[in-house]
Amino acid sequence: MTHSIRQLDTHMINQIAAGEVIEGPFSVVKELMENAIDAGATIIQVEIEHGGKSSIAVTDNGAGIPGDEIEIAFKSHTTSKLRTIDDLQHLHTLGFRGEALASIAAVSRVEITTKQPSRVSGYRAIFESGQMMSLEEIGCPDGTRIIVRDLFYQTPARLKFMKSDGAESARISELITRLALSRPDIAFQYINNNNITLTTRGENTLSPAVLSIFPEDIGRNMFETAQTTYSLENYRLTISGLLSQPHFSRGNRQYQFYYVNGRSVRSEVLTQGLERAYEGALMVNRFPLCVLYIDITPELLDVNVHPSKVAIKFQYPQWIVESLSDYVKKALQTQTTMVHSEPSRSYGLAHTHAYGKSLSGEQIHLHSLQRRSDKVETIDKALSESQQEKNDDSLNMKADSMPQIEQHGAFKPENREVETSSQFEVRQTEVNYAASHVNVLPPTSPINPALQSQQQFLDEVLTNRQYHLLGQAFKTYIVLESGEYLYLIDQHAAHERIMYESLLSEARQQGVAIQELMEGPIIDLSISEMDWVMAHNSMFKQMGFILESFGHQSIRITGVPYQMGLPAETNFLKSLIDEFMREDWQHQPLPLEKLIRHACRLAIKARDSLNRMEMTALLDQMIRLPIPLTCPHGRPIVLKMREYDLEKLFKRV
């Protein structure tokens, strides 16, 4: 059955329109704060309760609203910021649509108190469902205070889809952070459930604002950049701000702040320009940090793309990318490019003794697997300070590899270093042939007559130690010789799979065992990170981390997964938070397997130097791995190459 077409009533129109502008409490805070900034405020205070769902109050000392304009200010498409269509091309205000107050009033109860500095008294008005219920003249401070209560009280369907208090608070915290950084000349105060969460002084200096908002380690690793202007015909692009040092990064883009003509925006164009300049300096899935102020000729910018005004479009986007990339590259060149090396990490793979004395296999255990229910006594720390032993264990032509070479009758070694030169280069066709004969150990197919499967490789080669450990190649691959085969083992993939299987087995059998800490470390977070972590605290507890609030911008770790031990320098937990926030896992429970995959970030990394006993311990732990031999992400752990293939490469056969 069809219905006749009819005109929607005003109330329904406002409800529908409000849905485009007001997505949740953070949208209300955004619109009210932007109005306060446009009103010339130098002090702005934001107060929320229960994630903004029950109450939001924004107070400023701006220009105020005349009493006879209050009612019209809450009607749709009324604004003081536009007079002609041409004004859209020269916008210098954050708001301009004239929809914010009308949209807010349509879905909540609103109280406004406002006074112009030139007037003796001010006014207070009450709105419900978009209609002004009362207006009275009162005494009040200069500026405007708007209180929004019971958001979406008339639309239960919208209310049902709102997030938890903590998740909504996290979005508001991020918003306030962005706006506070956009205007260091304004003093901001943010109060969440009667707790002062953020305060800036409005000193019109960027560095103090950053230090008051960001965790200390971030402020310490960022530097100010000089203002630079780029030109294209009659257009101008001016850039200034803060950048992160080349060696410092995070696991998501949360700390990338862009301000275009004073407006906080997200833009793939700007992200591309920034990250292109950092190419080669950062690892995969690591991102630079920035607070960049970009002033551009208004005609080149379209902010009228979406009601949120966060998405923008540029004319000449390629020029923007190239200019920003050039700016960042030149700024990075002014900083030291040397990355400070960290001390060698000890993984507790084996207890190393001077003079290379070995321990039995029963005594050598991975740090990640050492605390088992059968209380196997293990030694927790390898003496990684024995740097000479590490050097001797590398895959090079030194002491312990020489007897093997002599056995094959190649040559008798002399006490000298071996240099490579162009005379040892191999033609590309020969390299391609060799590459085609380097095999990944197949999941089920036979390897050769001696090793019929991966299980036989584990049983015959590793369990019985039927191999000669040649050493470590490129501080990434463990190199074994066994029979007629050469084996390369990816140390990170192997250790990651070992950790994954152990953690998953324990968690499925008895849940993640938690080790309580007497004096756990403290981690400083941004206000949005803090709100997010507290909102998802149960998720971290499921994984074995007990986190407690320690002030409004810090957490203390009071418990960790028993098998992991304390994450080194808390970096693991920081990276875990970055990963989870980047994936935006806020609406679904995390499968235990996925959590453990992220926990495996503690595994040995490529470029981590291992001594001989640590490599042996890792190989011993591989014996218990199930088939196929892949890491949790599906990458192969072991590659093999026949002696015959090497001989063909050198044209010996």
What pTM does this model have? 0.61
Q: Secondary structure of 560-589 in the HEC alphabet? A: EECCCCCCHHHHHHHHHHHHHHHHCCCCCC
Number of helical H runs and strand E runs in the chain: 21, 24
Q: Which two tokens stand for residue 542?
A: 């499921």
Inter-residue contact 251 to 287 (CB < 8 Å): yes
Point out the least confidently predicted range of 148-152, 275-279, 559-563, 641-645: 559-563
Question: 563, 517, 557: which is closest to 541 by C-alpha?
Answer: 557
In whole numbers, what is the pLDDT of the chain averaged over residues? 75
Q: What is the pLDDT of residue 516?
A: 85
* Those residues with Cβ within 8 angstroms of residue 619's Cβ, 6 or more apart along the chain or in another chain: 462, 467, 469, 478, 480, 489
Q: Encode pLDDT of 310-330 as tens digits.
A: 678 898 999 999 999 999 999
Distance of CA 536 to the CA centre of its chain: 16
Q: Encode pLDDT of 12-41 as tens digits.
A: 666 555 555 688 899 999 999 999 999 999
Query: Domains in the chain, start-ordered, CATH in brackets?
Result: 10-199 (3.30.565.10), 214-333 (3.30.230.10), 363-413+429-494+606-649 (3.30.1540.20), 513-602 (3.30.1370.100)
Inter-residue contact 158 to 107 (CB < 8 Å): yes
Q: What is the pLDDT of residue 229?
A: 96
The helix (H) or strand (E) run that includes residue 303 is none
Question: 222, 590, 614: which is closest to 383 by C-alpha?
Answer: 614
Spatial separation of the C-alpha atoms in residues 320 and 261, rounded to whole Å: 14
Spatial separation of the C-alpha atoms in residues 574 and 570, rounded to whole Å: 7
Q: Encode pLDDT of 36-50 as tens digits.
A: 999 999 999 999 999
The helix (H) or strand (E) run that includes residue 301 is strand 301-302
Dihedral over Cα of 91, 93, 97, 98: its sign: negative
Q: Which two tokens stand for residue 150?
A: 């019971």
Beta partners for residue 468, in sequence order: 481
**What confidence tier does 418 reach under pLDDT thresholds 50, 70, 90?**
very low
How many residues in total does the chain contain? 653
* Local structure of 305: helix, strand or coil: coil
* Local structure of 34: helix, strand or coil: helix
According to DSSP, residue 457 is labeled I
* Those residues with Cβ within 8 angstroms of residue 430's Cβ, 6 or more apart along the chain or in another chain: 649
Q: Which two tokens stand for residue 365?
A: 């255990």
Spatial separation of the C-alpha atoms in residues 140 and 119, rounded to whole Å: 10
Inter-residue contact 616 to 350 (CB < 8 Å): yes
Higher pLDDT, 523 or 348: 523
Radius of gyration of the chain (CA): 31
Q: What is the pLDDT of residue 227?
A: 95
Report the half-sphere exposure of 404 (CA within 13 A, side-chain side). Answer: 16
Q: Which two tokens stand for residue 285?
A: 């899935």
Largest CA distance in the chain: 104
Spatial separation of the C-alpha atoms in residues 313 and 321, rounded to whole Å: 13
Q: Encode pLDDT of 437-471 as tens digits.
A: 445 554 444 333 333 456 777 887 888 888 999 99
Question: 274, 289, 291: which is closest to 325 by C-alpha?
Answer: 274
Q: What is the pLDDT of residue 308?
A: 53
10 Å Cβ neighbour count for 76? 17
Question: 207, 198, 193, 153: which is closest to 177 by C-alpha?
Answer: 198
Point out the least confidently predicted range of 78-82, 302-306, 344-348: 344-348
Inter-residue contact 109 to 148 (CB < 8 Å): yes
Q: Is 471 left (phi over 0), alpha (psi -120 to 50) or beta?
A: left
Q: What percent of the chain has pLDDT above 70?
A: 68
Question: 456, 463, 454: which is closest to 361 by C-alpha?
Answer: 463
Spatial separation of the C-alpha atoms in residues 361 and 39, rounded to whole Å: 73
**What confidence tier does 566 reach under pLDDT thresholds 50, 70, 90?**
low
Q: Which two tokens stand for residue 466?
A: 């039927």
